[in-house]
Amino acid sequence: MATFEYKTICAPRKALKIKGVKSSDERYAQTLTDVINAQSADGWEYFRAEALPVDERSGMSRRVTEKYLSLLIFRRENIETYEEPSLSGDVEDEIQPTMVEAPLVEEEEVVAEVGSLGPATR
């Protein structure tokens, strides 16, 4: 079974100026494409985009306001692969849990110990 590691980065908020691209929508799309291609060059696969809420303190009164961050999520397969435990071998070879039994105490011994206790003194 393949396991993945994940990486999140903030999506760009502004479109870069790109030569030959005139509209702001096309510039923003090209900016996102460049970010995704830069991450894929390092072995990261684009997975999804999320808008998640974040509490932020702002102003003199440090009031908490909620804002949303746009995140790009990337993933790549772990180099260390998970191996299923093999079921070969005998059951007797496995470590079996044992119960620890409390020693048996005669009732007379308990009464004798309690009876020998005296009042608490300082």
Mean pLDDT by 10 residues, the chain (122 residues): 90 90 91 95 95 91 91 89 60 57 60 56 62
The answer as to whether 104 is a domain residue is no
The answer as to whether 100 is a domain residue is no
The residues facing 76 across adjacent strands are 5
- Number of domains present in the structure of the chain: 1
Please tell me the predicted confidence (pLDDT) of residue 22. Answer: 86
**Hunting for tokens 């093999």 — which residue is that?**
86
The answer as to whether 48 is a domain residue is yes
Residue 94 in tokens: 């496995």
The answer as to whether 111 is a domain residue is no
Residue 2 in tokens: 């393949």
The answer as to whether 30 is a domain residue is yes
pTM of the model: 0.58
The answer as to whether 35 is a domain residue is yes
85 and 23 Cβ atoms separated by less than 8 Å: no
**Can you give the residue range of the structural domain that contains 14?**
4-77
Pseudo-torsion of CA 24, 27, 32, 38, nearest 10°? -160
